[in-house]
Structure 1
Amino acid sequence: MNQTLITSVNTLSQLQKKLDIISNNIANIDTNGYKRRDASFTDLLNQNVMNMLRPNEEAGRLTPTGIRVGTGARIAQTQMAGTQGNISQTERQLDFAFTKENQFFKVLVQENGRGKIHYTRDGSFAVTPVNANEVMLVTKEGRPVLGENNQPITFRTDSGDITLEAGGRLRAGGQTFNLGVVEVKKPQLLTQAGSNLLTLPDNPAIAENQVLQELTAAGRAEIALQQGTLEKSNVDLAKEMTESLNVQRAYQFQSRTISLADQMMGLINGVR
């Protein structure tokens, strides 16, 4: 097959993945606490074509022999950008926003009949009845928000106003609860789990304590939360649209390359 076709097809598939990432960022521009993802490219392995028929005549050559032919590009990695989003005032008691980067709430999600901890920056919470006397703090999808001890946060229905104190402590009437908060050290190792949630992979490459740190005991002094506010996404629409246009131009260029390679092969096959 024509080497030009191989190079272009390899690159086209990766450009499509880059365009999907940009589209997902734009779609979540109004999602509370969403963190955009950035993709970086790298070259695929080069092929060294040896076109020197008489190596003995290349004595004293300073540059490598042969011709290095590329085989396209691929996405090297996609990484979550943890930069702080804008803070929006809501004046709602159950809305909370982090004012420090890489801090996340803990949420309990049921997967295949078992509970697994997920992480989110979206602090738009609600309460749902547990029984006649108790309610539980949940996300807007109804998933339990966990406390410091990895247990759902429940309090009496007659507790009255809920207030946020220093160190991520909630006070509801005479009851107090420590919100479960982690600091993510390596956000690129978390995977998206839908519903604006992140989770650790089932078989992480490194230990969990190297990816995130539980903010407990003295570490709770590092928690930076505001009540009555929500963090907006950190997606910059102008930047994403510019990236989208650049990817589309590159896609058109690679498509044109395929058309030219096909025309060249047609001319060669037509030679009599």
Structure 2
Amino acid sequence: MPAEELPTPGLGTLRNIDADQCARTVARAVEVGYRHIDTAQKYDNESLVGDGLDRAAVPRDDLFVATKIAESNLGYDDVLETADRSLERLGLDTVDLLYIHWPASSGETDRYDPEETIPAFNELFDDGAFRHFGVANFSVELIEEIDDRVEAPIFANQVEMHPLLQQAELAEYAQANDMYLVAYSPLLRGDLGRVPELTEIAAKHDATPAQVSLAWLMSKDNVVPIPKGRGDHLVENFRARDLELTPEDIETIENIDREFRIVDRPKGPWQW
């Protein structure tokens, strides 16, 4: 296991950009019991998350806050400058986990180059800007490429993960190398009700398909889901911690023979 426990489940904040709603959601999540809050430069809501953290009635040391450097900001100077701005927006002196958001060179503004990016992260770590180093959307090969270059051990890899994208290789690698696999989009963007294996298990436990997906993820060593949610869904998702799936339930989920990756979804109705 990694040296420090990562609270589970965490709260994802992608697309939560309404000022009051975002701040209220973060504060309410902390009230419910969430202690791990995830944001990113690309989400354009770090200041809103920071407002929510200010409203939360718990000590800062009880919270685990993560953000990500956008792929367009991964040149050496850009990492240093934008990380400082992220801290200002969040209202924090340090974040608990700082990720490289995407490694892929998919556009002209993408700047990921280990020769530039990793030294900048090392400098930020030495300066106390973050406590743990993370990567997001990295393959095993990309992790191994930088493993001996980073001063802080790789604490987490954040990837899309849910019952239709089970990430077995990355989960096994995380477990073998004492890092977390942080699962984003664990609720399939609200479409889990279309997966009959999950609806059947949910009915058996008087639970929801969302709770089944989260409980399945949390049953795995070193895997931490970060579902989005607000209002009653915040409570519903958090209560997935109390759902105990049977070995038969887990086998049913892991035998699902369809795969669907949200980030590659086509336009129109999703098909799987």
- TM-score scaled to structure 1, two decimals? 0.21
Considering Cα pairs closer than 8 Å and 6+ residues apart, tell me whether 1 or 2 has the greater RCO: 1
- TM-score scaled to structure 2, two decimals? 0.21
Structure with greater Cα Rg: 1
Which structure has greater strand proportion? 1
Which structure has greater helix proportion? 2
